[in-house]
Amino acid sequence: MILGTGIDLVELERIRSSLEKFGERFLKRILHPGEIAYCLTHQDPAPFVAGRFAAKEAISKAFGTGICGKLGWLDMEVGRKPSGEPFVILHEGGLKLLAERGGRKVHLSLSHTHHHATAVAILED
């Protein structure tokens, strides 16, 4: 049974601008070390950072909270299977919300173009 859905769309230039202006401080505020390392392996990390930004927004919407005190940026992480498929890793607040909502799994899909990154998240019981 689906408990919640979320979607988000991010303009790459917005993320690129934040990366240029705030650099590592911006990355550490929204991403886990493994996510940062993965994004920085690419010549242009902005699409990959934007995808993770959109993913976390979509996940927070699927939980029905948005990014807030109950669910912060670092309560969620986007991992990658060897196939490249993204998956959600929940930490602290994310695990607590999953239990509160009676959820079992969060499904995630990511995509990006030259101008946008998007993510869809589904919270399943």
Task: Give the CATH number for residue 66.
Answer: 3.90.470.20
Mean pLDDT of the chain: 97
The pLDDT tens digits for 90-108 are: 999 999 999 999 999 999 9
- Decide: 117 and 51 in contact? Cβ < 8 Å: yes
Work out the pLDDT band at 70, boundaries 50, 70, 90.
very high
The pLDDT tens digits for 31-66 are: 999 999 999 999 999 999 999 999 999 999 999 999
Q: Which residue has the tokens 């919407």?
A: 61
pLDDT on residue 37: 97
Containing domain of residue 84, as a range? 2-124
Q: Domain count of the chain? A: 1
Burial of residue 60 (CB within 10 Å: 0-12, 13-18, 19+) is buried
H or E segment to which residue 72 belongs = none
Which active-site residues does the annotation give?
Answer: 61, 112
The structure's pTM equals: 0.96
pLDDT on residue 48: 97
